[in-house]
Amino acid sequence: MKSASTFVIILGMHRSGTSCLTGCLQQAGVFLGEVIESAPHNKKGNREKKEIMSLNESVLEYSGGSWDSPPDKVIWNNEHELERERIMNVLFSKHQLCGFKDPRTVITLPFWQEKNIKYIASYRHPLLVAASLNARNNKISISDGLLLWKAYNTKLLSYWKKHQFPLLSFNVDKEKYLLDLEKSFGYLNIDKNRIKHINFFDTSLKNQKNTISHDIPEDVMFLYEKMNNIYRNQTNLRNNEA
């Protein structure tokens, strides 16, 4: 991959606000290439690139898994590597600020990791994620959705421990969300004045409300609280630096 000033990978579990985060970053100047801008279960589109989705799916299948049945270990072949290089070179090399988002990347990230990549992530309450998955695909029960939330966010937390990237909460209101986003711009080498160009956040993007009743396993809640603590600590640190 030819070096760019900043290459950003947006991480997060499905239905966790990654589309909102990616749309906001796109408006802030992160080049994504041609992405999906309209979808039945996503008012403004998932902002994903079909080629990257397809490659991630191929790597997951080669590893003996899928997005909803994550493999124990991610493996890939030379053809996968060549396709990865083609995508990252041809589509992104001419842009100083570029990146992509696909929730599957939380599982396939070892395949994508290269030097000079920065990460930013979004997380959301596990029950809201599980309910949103169930609404999109009723074959995924709330209980199964909670287990998937745990699998993805266990991976996400392990990456965070290595890279200490910004972690944004999709549970907060618009004003707080945009404030958190703006404070991540320094890490991503984005001019903070770009925040005024962002109008992507829309409360209608949050399809699930906080009225769902379902038991949440203790280990899932424990992990969620760990992520909340990271988010709060990052917020406090940025406030002190401001």
User: Quick check: 16 and 106 in contact, CB under 8 A?
Assistant: no
Cα–Cα distance measured from residue 179 to residue 227, given in angstroms and rounded to the nearest whole number: 18
Domain ranges of the chain: 6-241
The predicted-structure confidence for 59-114, as pLDDT tens digits, reads as follows 999 999 999 999 999 999 999 999 999 988 876 776 888 899 999 999 999 999 87
The predicted-structure confidence for 4-61, as pLDDT tens digits, reads as follows 468 899 999 999 999 999 999 999 999 998 898 877 666 787 899 999 999 999 999 9
pTM: 0.91
Q: Which two three-digit tokens encode residue 27?
A: 């408006």
Averaged pLDDT of the chain = 90
The predicted-structure confidence for 110-164, as pLDDT tens digits, reads as follows 999 876 799 999 999 999 999 999 998 888 999 999 999 999 999 999 999 999 9
Provide, for the chain, the percentages of residues in helix, strand and coil under a 3-state DSSP scheme, each rounded to the nearest 5. Answer: 50, 10, 35
Class of domain 6-241: alpha beta
